[in-house]
Each structure stands twice: as structure tokens, then as C-alpha cells.
Amino acid sequence: MDSKISSFKIPESVLVIIFTSRLDVLLIERADHPGFWQSVTGSKDTPDEPLLETALREVEEETGIIAAPSQIRNWGLSNVYDIYPAWRHRYAPGITRNTEHVFGLHLPQSCTVRLSPREHTASQWLAHRNAAEQCFSPSNAEAILMLPRFRDSID
């Protein structure tokens, strides 16, 4: 495979809402855009990487949380959106849309996280409605607001 092609991001990603039993949600602030708060996100490393593997990897890379596969639930939701112009250079020429698959990671309580400083500079735990208000991404905010609907999937 051409090394230039392999350096482009794959336009298929995960959004992982990390939340507690009290429905507090972890948000992390982007290093490259201060004030942009979000949940864990990330693209597949390879086209055939399973989405669950992508979700587990991104959670560990971005927060230091090592989750078991049984802790993460695929919510069966996908968002297709236009890639923000500021990040389009990361994708192959002509790629303008991304498909994002939504997952939830339930933790018993909030915890301290270890951020990847090149990606994120701060973290906060907020009640789910407050977290949704802080998100810069509409699809991230919408997923957080759906959290109460997924109570049945909480262990």
C-alpha cells in the first residue's frame, strides 16, 4: 500500500459516550481547538478493524481507561456528517463525509483520566444535559441527550 494513502484517516469512526450510573458524562477538550469539548472519538486504523476494537482503542488512547469489551455497548446509531473543513486535510482528496458509530461505556462512577496531550488538554465530568450543552458537535450532543433511553443496556 502506498504510504501516502495509508497516512489518510479512514472516514469511518466511533463516538464513545463515557458515563456513570448517575448519568454524568466525561467530556475532553481538544488540544487543536481550545473550547471544543467532546466525547471520545476516533477513526478506524484499517478498513477491516472491527468497530468495537476501534472504540476500545480510542478510549484507552484518549483517556487511559482500559475497558473490557463487555463494558462497551454499540447503540446501533450512526451519524453521517460533513467533515469540518479544518480537519479535511487528514482525509484522502475528495473525502468530505464521515460515518460515525455511537457507543456507550458505562463506568460505576467518575474517575481521573490520563489524557493524550497531543489530542486533549482538559477533562470534566458533567450531568448529561450539561455535557450536551458543552459539546461543539451537534451529533455528540444529540447522542448524550439519548443516554437516558439506553438505561436498559446499563449493567
Give 10-residue mean pLDDT values along the chain (155 residues): 64 97 96 94 96 98 96 95 90 95 95 94 97 95 93 57
Q: What is 3-153's CATH superfamily?
A: Nucleoside Triphosphate Pyrophosphohydrolase (3.90.79.10)
DSSP 8-class letter at 135: B
Number of helices (H), then strands (E), belonging to the chain: the values are 4, 7
CB atoms within 10 A of CB 106: 20
Closest CA to 54 of 95, 120, 7, 10: 10
Rounded Cα gap, residues 82 and 29, in angstroms: 21
Sequence ranges of the domains in the chain: 3-153
pLDDT of residue 151: 67
CB atoms within 10 A of CB 65: 20
Q: Grid coordinates in use for 151?
A: 438505561
Rounded Cα gap, residues 13 and 57, in angstroms: 12
CB atoms within 10 A of CB 71: 16
DSSP 8-class letter at 83: P
Rounded Cα gap, residues 129 and 120, in angstroms: 22
pLDDT digits (tens, 9 = 90+) for 9-51: 999 999 999 999 999 999 999 998 899 999 999 999 999 999 9
